[in-house]
Structures are given as C-alpha cells and as structure tokens.
Amino acid sequence: MIKSSLYGLTLEQLRNWLPEHGQKKSRASRIWEWLYQERVHDFTGMSDVRQECLDVLSEHFTMNSLSEHVKQESSDGTVKFLLRLQDGNLIETVLMRQKYGLTVCVTTQVGCNIGCSFCASGLIKKSRDLSAGEIVEQIMHVQRHLDAAGQGELVTNVVVMGIGEPFDNFEHMSNFIEVIKDRKGLALAAKRITVSTSGLPDKIKEFADSSLQVNLAISLHAPNNELRTHIMKINRAFPIEQLMDAVDYYLEKTNKRIMFEYILLRDVNDQREHASELAELLSSRKSMVSVNLIPYNPVDEHSQYQRSTEESILGFYDTLKKNNINSTVRMEHGTDIDAACGQLRSKQMKNNAEAKANGKSDVKTDAGRLAMG
C-alpha cells in the first residue's frame, strides 16, 4: 500500500489528526521541529517522541515518498534532481543559485494536460496530480542535499514552475504553500514564493481570494488571441479578455504585482511590433505588472521553434522599456545539464526507449510513466 506523506499535513491538520488516533495534540509541534528544523530522514530519528506515537504515525504515513534517481550538477551551481515517486513515476526538481538566494523549482503534476506547443511537458498527458506531501518533499530533498554539504545553506525561494499546471491541482498546491510558509516549519516568506500558471481565470480569482498571498506569474507568451491560441491551445478556452478580467480582479483584490512570462520564439512572437502590442495590452496596468522575457530552450520534439536572436531579444526589451513596461530577461541556469523544463526527463525517456529497443531496459520507467514538464 502506498502511504501518504507526513509532509502533506499542515501543523493544524497534524494537531487534529493526533487526538483522532489516540495521541496527544501537543506532540504536533515537536514532530514538526523534527521534520523541519532537525530534518530527520525517518521516524526513528525523532528520538524524544514516544514510540507508541511513532508507531501510529508510521502506520499511516511515510516520510520518504521520493527517492533520488539522477542528480546533475552544473558548473554554475544549478542542481537538477530527477526524483522517483513511490509509484515509479519520475519528476524533476531544480535548485538554482541566484544573487538573492537559493531557489527551488518544484513540480506539481506528473505530466501536463495544457499541452503548450513549445513545452516538453505538453508531450505527455497528465497521469496524476502530486499530493501536497510530494511537493513539500521536493523542497526537503533539496534542503537535505544542502545540509549534507555542511555549509549551513537554506532554501530561501520557491518557484512553482516545474512540470504541470499548479492551478489544475489547486488544493494540493495550496496545502503545500501553507506548509512551507508556516513559521514553525520552513518559514519561507510569502514574498519569496511564486506560483506560475498558464492562465486559468477562475483559479486566478480563487487564488486572489485565498489567504496564500504569494506571488503570481502568468505565462502569456503572446499579445493577441490569434498568436496565443497558436502557441498555447488553452487560449481557445480562456482567451486574453477573460484572462485580463481575472488579472484585474487579482490586482484589485490583492494589490500585489503580477509577473507575465513571455517566451521569445524566433520570428513567431519576438518582433518589435509584438512588443508594442504587448505594451498596449498592459498599458492600463503598467504600475502593477512586469514582463519576464524568457529565451526559449529548444526542445527536440518542437523543432518548429527556435531561440530568438540576441538582437530580437534586445529589440523586444527596448520596445517595452520605451513604453514604460518593467521587464527583465531571464537569466539561464544550468544549460550544460539540461536544466530547462523537461529536458532531463525528455532525455532520460529517450535513453530508456533506446535501451528497451536494444533489449537492455534496466530502468523501470517508460515514456508513459515519465513526467514531462
């Protein structure tokens, strides 16, 4: 039987769970300290918690729903982890070193149903949502990697930008954020957590209404419906007008800024006229938005797209700037280790397929079970 992860419970949920199973509510805080401050690897490490309590916990929960399958370290300090779930599926988690801290990028689903035309995730349909515990454990896995190095480094930032559409797994994503924000746990500041969505309007509104209050990023990638539908088929169901309606609701409700992500695809959406159109679209919200320009990481299966030239990237940036739209060009991390979304998994999948074809499949995964992002 696959047990759920103890890391999926908020402190409140653990406090309620314990008395329901004959244990004292007051033990919850100490258990949390063992999980998030001492960062023990299993129940036996919780040395001052009564054995009876540990028995009942371990009967219902695991603390190890992930195991490391592959780890790749880049010369710029980026580390990419290919992690195996209890059911054999593989997911990716990335650690990036940035000026302002250590950022972890987490996966929320095994595969993705949104199927954007440029993304490795879209290649395989979602087979399931990750539980809150499986998302929290990705952070713990990276934190333990840092602990093992003995430099006292801590994960300081989290971006929900790995495989999957977080707003298509809203409840688990929300629980995950509650857990990592908790002051008695990892105590990550809300302003250091960013959730990225392909733009589901109702969920953006629900997010605005929630108590989560972390940063929102929206993958826009085009300034008009025709082009956006061509790049992201989700735009057919939720066109830009509906998305902007949800954006305005969010801005009004939270008074927090939104970051729009815009992948630059050569000769598709990267010309100055696209930048002018984008500036026009955002003009009434100028003070509350910024644009993050993302150099495209080529994906073999999407050979119709190429990375923009440096000249186009600068031209696009310059046009936004002239129109007073705040923008940045995303720094790349770990290009020498396939750190771009989905690439390590993609490669691993191909290797497995080749190994199978050659009759030497020693890795237990196949294309259908490998998460893409």
Active-site residue set: 92, 341
Residue 183, number of CB atoms within 10 A of its CB: 9
Site for ligand SAH in 244-263 (CB under 6 A): 261, 263
110 binds ligand SF4 (CB under 6 A): no
Site for ligand SAH in 318-347 (CB under 6 A): 340-341
Choose between 136 and 299: whose C-beta lies nearer to ligand SAH.
299
Choose between 85 and 294: whose C-beta lies nearer to ligand SAH.
294
121 binds ligand SF4 (CB under 6 A): yes
Binder of residue 115, out of ligand SAH, ligand SF4, none (CB less than 5 to 8 A by kind): ligand SF4
Binder of residue 297, out of ligand SAH, ligand SF4, none (CB less than 5 to 8 A by kind): ligand SAH
Give the range of 8-16, 78-86, 96-104, 289-297 binding ligand SAH by CB under 6 A.
Answer: 289-297
Site for ligand SF4 in 147-166 (CB under 6 A): 164-165
Check whether 41 is labelled as a binding-site residue. Answer: no
- Residue from 112, 177, 214, 371 that binds ligand SF4 (CB under 6 A)? 112
Contacts of 199 (CB under 8 A, 6+ apart): 218, 219, 220, 234, 235, 238, 243, 246
Site for ligand SAH in 24-63 (CB under 6 A): none
Check whether 221 is labelled as a binding-site residue. Answer: yes
Question: Which residue in 155, 271, 173 sits closest to 222, CA to CA?
Answer: 271
Q: What are the backbone angles phi and psi of residue 98, rounded to the nearest 5°?
A: -125, 165
- Residue from 7, 43, 81, 296 that binds ligand SAH (CB under 6 A)? 296
Choose between 14 and 119: whose C-beta lies nearer to ligand SAH.
119
Check whether 219 is labelled as a binding-site residue. Answer: yes
Check whether 67 is labelled as a binding-site residue. Answer: no
115 binds ligand SF4 (CB under 6 A): yes
Q: How far is the CB of 59 from ligand SF4 (least distance, A)?
A: 36
Site for ligand SAH in 57-116 (CB under 6 A): none
129 binds ligand SF4 (CB under 6 A): no
The DSSP bridge partners found for residue 195 are 160, 216
Residue 320, number of CB atoms within 10 A of its CB: 23
Binder of residue 223, out of ligand SF4, ligand SAH, none (CB less than 5 to 8 A by kind): none
Cα distance between residue 266 and residue 268, in whole Å: 5
Choose between 116 and 279: whose C-beta lies nearer to ligand SF4.
116
313 binds ligand SAH (CB under 6 A): no
- Residue from 79, 119, 288, 337 that binds ligand SAH (CB under 6 A)? 119
Residues that bind ligand SF4 (CB under 6 A): 112, 114-116, 119, 121-122, 164-165, 198, 219, 373
Q: Which residues are annotated as a binding site for [4Fe-4S] cluster?
A: 112, 116, 119
Residues that bind ligand SAH (CB under 6 A): 118-119, 161, 165, 196-198, 219, 261, 263, 294, 296-297, 299, 340-341
